[in-house]
Amino acid sequence: MKVLCFILFIAMFKFVSLRTISESWIEPNLCPSFCSCDVIDNVVDCRYNNLTEVPVQLDKNVTLLNLSFNSFSGIPKEIINLPKLLYLDLSNNPYIKFIEMNFQSVSLKNLQLKSCSIDYIDNSLLKGLPNLEVLDLSRNPISFINNSLVSLSLKSLDISYCNLKHIKPEAFSGITSLLYLSLNDNPNLRQFLCGSENLLRLDISNCNIEHIPSGSLKKLVELDLHGNNVQRLRNRSFSNLASVEILNVSFNAIREIEANCFTSLDRLISIDLSYNRLTDINKNTFKKNNRLRSLYLSHNYLRRIKDIASNSLQLLDLTSCEITYLMQYSLSNLPVLTELHLSRNQITHIPNKFDSAHLVYLDIGYNDISSINNETFAAMRSLRFLVLSGNKLTTSDPSYFAQIIDLSIEDNPWLCDCASLQRMYNWMIRTDQNTKYLRCQLPAKFEGLTWEEACHSSWSKSAASAKIYVSKRIDKHRKNQNEQEMEERLAAERLEFIQRQHTRERLRRLEELEESRNAPDPRESQGPPTYNEALMLPRLDSSHLSLAGSLPSLSSVHTSNPDVSKRRRQRRRRRRKQSSSPPRGTASCSNLTEASENDRPLHTELEESSF
């Protein structure tokens, strides 16, 4: 049940919403045939139809109505019947010369009346438009505003490109919500006194103003005075403009700025003094403007950089000021300066270690600089963007630009000595600099050619030679590396072989030692020698001298028994006889008997001798 109720509620909500939306749309059949309509945004565009009246069939839900480039003679009264109208454009209706007093629209917020023929503004102009926020009356032949306009809702008023000659000081004081006022391009307006407590932006450029506007403008943030005829900025000229942050007084005829001129501008962020006639500026002129970030002084006649002092200035533009020279510490009183423009001056030399520790961008193009070196920008540790275009440089080297990431050096009379220029060219290619417009002036045969066109063949040969040289060096390095690796591998193998040999030798010795320990005594397994073997044994008294005299030797025993000695002599005689006996096979029986006797073991003889 709850689910069903919820579904019914959603369906009813969608139905009501769609009905509300459909009611706010322009009905297709209510769009005039000669107009274009946007039924979604409720926009009706009826331009270029030579209309003199609002179309009868116009839908009441329209919010934006464009009736410009028609032939209305005044603001059509039918506008009051459009309760949802927010934007009305009646521009370029040349027959609208005034605004009717009974013109009313409670909903209207933006009214465009530029390029009509309105020449008079009545003080009741805004009474019937209680919610109007934007009014554009530009390009109308309005010469005077002698009435005090009153509106509690108007925020933006444009009366530019008119023929204004005089504006009553109280003309805008009754517009209490006014934020933006444009009075620019009224060349006959020579002075302006305004009281508007809430005004934020005032554009009074390209008039003929001779003095800084006076009056109560306590909340004014931006003042545009460029293109006027101000010749001198006096002390306290801006005393009533304490909130100004952006000040433009360029394209005037200012010759002098008094030292305390800007002292009251505590919130000043940017000031444009370019295109004036300044020849000198006191170094303390901007010292008390602690929020100043940008100072534009281009196209003046300063001739040299004064020691301008500012602890907050980040951008200084001195383009086209006829500056002829720089000093090493010209920027020493600008400790946080990051951007400096010095192009199109007459500077011939940049001092070594030109000092500006925080400078990031330097444009010194189109001067008369003929040489730089590796000390020129050495003190600019933060420098990253450098413009040297349009000077008289003939040679250069990458060491001059160690910290630079964006370099412009085109339009210089380069001496294209290809051998010395190649290093600079390679650096520019490697760091992705633009080399397209680098052209040679000398020697004559290369005049007008780009670096690439002039030196391509030379650099190609050098590149080929360098490639061959590098290839050979690489091959040699690889060969040496391979030989070294081979020697190291052989040494490792020899060491491993020696270690294996030592290990085998140790194992063999251990095995021999183990076998010797476990082997039986050879005297136990060997029987007594035969008679002949015994005869071949060495005599102890002659072969082992260490035994002589220690114990009675066998010879001494034999000598002490005369019978034994006698028998021994007999045996020797028999052996001599045997050596001289007949050949084998003819021996006599006596000889066999003697041989059998001689075969008796030695221990038998010893036993007999003991008896």
Tens of pLDDT, residue by residue over 123-150, are: 778 888 999 999 999 999 999 998 888 9
Q: Would you say 262 and 285 are in contact if contact means Cβ atoms under 8 Å apart?
A: yes
The one-letter code for the residue type at 115 is S
Residue 27: the pLDDT is: 56
Residue 485 inside a domain? The answer is no
Distance of CA 36 to the CA centre of its chain: 51
Residue 446 inside a domain? The answer is yes
Domain interval for residue 421: 415-425+439-462
Contacts 24+ apart (CB under 8 A), 302-309: 302/278, 303/279, 305/330, 305/331, 306/280, 306/281, 306/282, 307/283, 307/332, 307/333, 308/281, 308/283, 308/333, 308/334, 309/283, 309/284, 309/333, 309/334
- The answer, yes or no, to whether residue 334 has pLDDT greater than 60, is yes
d(CA 456, CA 425): 11
d(CA 428, CA 413): 18
pLDDT band for position 461 (50/70/90)? low
User: Is the pLDDT higher at 600 or at 240?
Assistant: 240
3-state secondary structure of 595: helix
- The answer, yes or no, to whether residue 224 has pLDDT greater than 70, is yes
Enter the DSSP assignment of 151.
B
* Planar angle of CA 299, 300, 302, nearest 5 degrees: 130
CA separation (Å) from 428 to 335, 406, 407, 570? 31, 10, 8, 121
d(CA 578, CA 586): 12
Most confident region among 91-95, 302-306, 478-482 by mean pLDDT: 91-95
Nearest to 360, CA basis, from 381, 328, 384, 394? 384
First-to-last alpha carbon distance for the chain, in angstroms, is 151
3-state secondary structure of 307: coil
pLDDT band for position 222 (50/70/90)? very high
Find the largest Cα–Cα distance for the chain: 188
Number of domains in the chain: 1
Residue 453 inside a domain? The answer is yes
For the chain, the helix, strand and coil percentages under 3-state DSSP, each to the nearest 5: 30, 10, 60
d(CA 373, CA 244): 44
- The answer, yes or no, to whether residue 16 has pLDDT greater than 50, is no
Which tokens go with 112?
């465009």
- The answer, yes or no, to whether residue 597 has pLDDT greater than 70, is no
Residue 455 inside a domain? The answer is yes
Q: Would you say 263 and 286 are in contact if contact means Cβ atoms under 8 Å apart?
A: no
pLDDT band for position 363 (50/70/90)? very high
Q: Would you say 66 and 92 are in contact if contact means Cβ atoms under 8 Å apart?
A: no
Residue 170 inside a domain? The answer is no
Residue 168 inside a domain? The answer is no
d(CA 427, CA 396): 11
Which tokens go with 465?
């030679």
Q: What is the pLDDT of residues 226-266, one digit of tens each?
A: 999 999 999 988 988 999 999 999 999 999 999 899 999 99
Mean pLDDT of 309-317: 95
d(CA 483, CA 54): 101
d(CA 419, CA 371): 19
Residue 72 inside a domain? The answer is no
Q: Would you say 132 and 153 are in contact if contact means Cβ atoms under 8 Å apart?
A: yes
Which tokens go with 573?
């005689």
Q: What is the pLDDT of residues 87-129, one digit of tens each?
A: 999 999 999 988 776 688 899 999 999 999 999 888 778 888 9
Out of 266-280, 292-306, 372-386, 499-513, pick the least confident. Answer: 499-513
